Amino acid sequence: MQTVVTDSPEEAARCLNEGGVVAFPTETVYGLGAAICHTEAIERIFAAKGRPGDNPLIVHIADPGDLMKVASHVSDDAKKLVLHFFPGPLTLVLKKNSSVPDSVTAGLDTVGVRCPSNSDATAFLKRCRCPVAAPSANVSGRPSSTSWDAVLHDLDGKIDCILKGAPSDIGLESTIVDCSGETPLLLRTGAVTIENLREVVPSIRTADSLRQHEIPKSPGLKYPHYAPEARIVLLGAGERIDADSEQRTSAYIGLSLPVAEQFALVKHCCNIEEYARVLFDFFRLCDSRKISFIYCELPPAEGLGRAVGDRLSRAAAGR
């Protein structure tokens, strides 16, 4: 199969409306989309990514007003979150309606819904006749794609089309809040921080506030994530590492200047937003340079730093 790369939202949407699998930019990361009304195309997303069939997909809508195209019930708390954070980097898990096939939700009675704010995403989604199911556009287990060329690297020849846009502004996947139960629960951290969420819905819970048996199984969490080929080594803020020969094939990323000088590759980020934006791209660069160890400084666990820390810990847990 030839993968067409286009900068035309019309062409990309036409391809999707005809049953194609189309990658598109969003402000978080690039998505790999198929129309929820084309079940064969949904299956091709799983095949192209090598994604386990029991890991549900998020559905994307062009406008917050399209929510009831996929949901059957929206709680008052969910309505407040929609009002404040849609369009944007937030996914809400809601009770689904019958238009969402089981292949999208992996048989769950809930659906993750997101309305991206990126203008290319909106131009594309507006022209799609059905809501668009889309996981991140990477091979399963690998770092998410934050640019169209990262998508091409992972999925060339396996998908029909890539809508070419700018690199993703945020660089980390959306925050996910489960609003299908009585009290909203944070399932994944992201650019909409717990501090932001609590300003709107103070009662929102996080997994650490629950006892072990109360933690709902977010189906994707059991799978390895975000891992480059290299081993990830986590460093506390400003932590020193011993300078040894190993570092000749090592890289460093963090907010502090690295304390050892022999790194083959160094990314010193000026702030946490930059750290989030460049992280997955840096992992991919390290792979292309055959780096074997990436030393990653853990940022302070506040605001966007929680999301960066979460992705680093999962990447360090390996594949």
Enter the tokens of residue 273: 């937003």
Give Cα 107 distance to the centre of its chain.
21
Does position 167 interact with ligand TXA (CB under 6 A)? The reply is: no
CB nearer to Mg ion: pick between 280 and 282:
280
Considering only 29, 41, 150, 161, the residue that binds ligand TXA (CB under 6 A) is 29
Residue of 26, 28, 110, 136 that binds Mg ion (CB under 5 A): 136
Site for ligand TXA in 104-123 (CB under 6 A): 105, 108, 110-112, 114
Least distance from C-beta 279 to Mg ion, angstroms? Answer: 14
What's the rounded Cα separation, in Å, for the pair 174 and 167?
15
- Tell how strand 132-133 and strand 31-35 pair up: antiparallel
Q: Which of 21, 32, 303 is nearest to 145 (CA)?
A: 32
Task: Calculate the alpha carbon distances from 117 to 18, 59, 121, 122 in Å.
Answer: 25, 14, 7, 7
Shortest separation between residue 235's beta carbon and Mg ion, angstroms: 25
Residues near Mg ion (CB under 5 A), total: 1
Q: How far apart are CA 299 and CA 235, in angstroms?
A: 9
Asked if 145 touches Mg ion (CB under 5 A), the answer is no
User: Considering CB distances under 5 to 8 angstroms, the limit depending on partner class, which of ligand TXA, Mg ion, none binds residue 168?
Assistant: none
# of chain residues touching ligand TXA (CB under 6 A): 26
Choosing from 25, 143, 165, 220, the residue that interacts with ligand TXA (CB under 6 A) is 220
Q: Report which of 303, 258, 297 is spatially closest to residue 279, judged by C-alpha positions.
A: 297
Q: Does 31 bind ligand TXA (CB under 6 A)?
A: yes
Residue type, 174: S
In the complex, the residues that contact Mg ion under the rule CB under 5 A are 136
